[in-house]
Amino acid sequence: MTAWFLLSSGSCGADDNILFQDENLIISGEGYLGSEAKYIRQIYPEAKTEIEKILGWKLLSKPTVLLVGNRAVFEKLSGSPFVSAFAMPSEHLIVIHISPMTSRLPILNDTFKHELCHLLLHDHVKEQIIPKWLDEGICQWISGTLGEIMAGDAATISRINMVRSLIPLRQLTASFPRDKDSLFLAYKESYDFVDYLTTHYGTKSLRSILQYLEQGDSIDPAVSKSLSKSFQDVHEEWVNDMQKRSEWLVWASQNLYEIIFFIMAVLSILAFVRLRIRRTRYTGEDDDD
């Protein structure tokens, strides 16, 4: 059952209530969500410009944003109890569940930006061409948030050890797992790979990969043409980098007290040196008098 079917049938509770509409944007939802609609209307131009600047593409579609206050209804739309928003690029549609958590303006801002990123990507790259992990990874990287994951559950992701339970990215090409832990791991991996890619190869390389995908290439030739390396080689580099970071975190956690003691000792020495310099300066001034 699609979101548009539920919307048109009135099952979503929106009652075809248009909260805002102009030549660039439509926002629909329950009437009591007017303040959230107003906020999205205000941030839309800046969010659109920011995403366009990063990716080097223009948003071609006119987004429709559906705000849903009822969690049970939203889950019928999304098909998952673990997300708070989703996009349907083929329909130019963004659906956001407005809860006490997602109604907080910073979270609503990041969530909307994340979903808007999906629409822009698919204005230029067909859904069956761009891998799911790249799609989600880019939108997390741009918005600075998991976006679709329920805000209250997002903290769980920081505790997931990717190295121990890594899902090969090729298994995340068409879809993500449905169980909670695997789903969260898939999101975390997707973001981490895109972050690694942009950190080590630059944003221009990411844009180049997307341009080849736009032309119809699959991910393997797109990466090879852009980075002069195979996707498998880059994937292995990323895994090795993860392992090094994981080892460093383990070492840091095992030596936490020693690290804190060392830092405090250095700060004490610096404070003592500053005190001696001040005393010397004051003594010199007294001698001059």
Rounded mean pLDDT, 273-286:
64
**Rounded CA gap, 54 and 141, in Å?**
11
Q: Is the pLDDT of residue 86 over 90?
A: yes
Confidence of residue 15 (pLDDT cuts 50, 70, 90): very low
Q: Where are the beta strands (DSSP E) in the chain?
A: 18-21, 26-29, 64-68, 85-88, 93-97
Q: Count up the domains in the chain and report the number.
A: 2
The pLDDT assigned to 100 comes to 84
pLDDT of residue 211: 97
Largest CA distance in the chain: 90
Between residues 101 and 237, which one has the greater pLDDT?
Answer: 237
Residue 257 has pLDDT above 60, yes or no: no
Residue pLDDT, tens place only, 187-234: 999 999 999 999 999 999 999 999 999 999 999 999 999 999 999 999
**Rounded mean pLDDT, 68-83:** 92
For the cut 50, the answer to whether the pLDDT of residue 9 exceeds it is no
Q: Does 153 score more than 70 pLDDT? A: no
Whether 166 shows a pLDDT value over 70: the answer reads yes
| Helix, strand or coil, per DSSP, at residue 65 | strand
* Residue 20: CATH number of its domain: 3.40.30.160
Q: What percent of the chain has pLDDT over 90?
A: 61
165 vs 69, more confident: 69
For residues 40-73, one letter each, b for 16 or more C-beta atoms within 10 angstroms of the residue's C-beta and e for the rest, the string is bbebbeebbebbeebbebebeeebbbbbbbeeeb
Q: pLDDT tens across 98-121, in order?
A: 988 777 888 899 999 999 999 999
152 is a domain residue: no
In a domain, 58, yes or no: yes
pTM: 0.80
Q: For residue 256, what pLDDT band results from cuts at 50, 70 and 90?
A: very low
Domain termination residue (choose one: 95, 124, 153): 124
pLDDT value of residue 13: 45
**Residue 282 confidence (pLDDT):** 60
**How far is residue 36's CA from residue 145's CA, in Å, rounded to a whole number?**
19
Quick check: is 215 in a domain? no
The predicted model gives 71-80 an average pLDDT of 92
Distance CA 92, CA 139 (A): 16
Residue 263 has pLDDT above 70, yes or no: no
Specify the pLDDT at position 51.
97
Domain annotation covers residue 132: no
Residue 239 lies in a domain: no
Question: Which pLDDT band holds residue 251 (cuts at 50, 70, 90)?
Answer: very low
Query: Could you say which of 100, 124, 148 is where a domain stops?
Result: 124
End residue of a domain, out of 79, 107, 124: 124
Domain annotation covers residue 86: yes
Find the helix or strand (DSSP H, E) in which 40 lies.
Answer: helix 34-55
The model's confidence at residue 11, banded by pLDDT at 50, 70 and 90, is: very low
Full residue range of the structural domain in which residue 39 is found: 1-124
Looking at residues 66-87, what average pLDDT do you find?
Answer: 93
For residue 112, being part of any structural domain is answered with yes
Distances (CA, A) of 81 to 75, 77, 132, 179, 279: 6, 10, 19, 10, 64
The pLDDT value recorded for residue 272 is 62
Q: Could you count the other beta carbons within 10 Å of the beta carbon of residue 249?
A: 11
Residue 203 domain flag: no
pLDDT score of 43: 97
**pLDDT reading at 3 higher than 70:** no
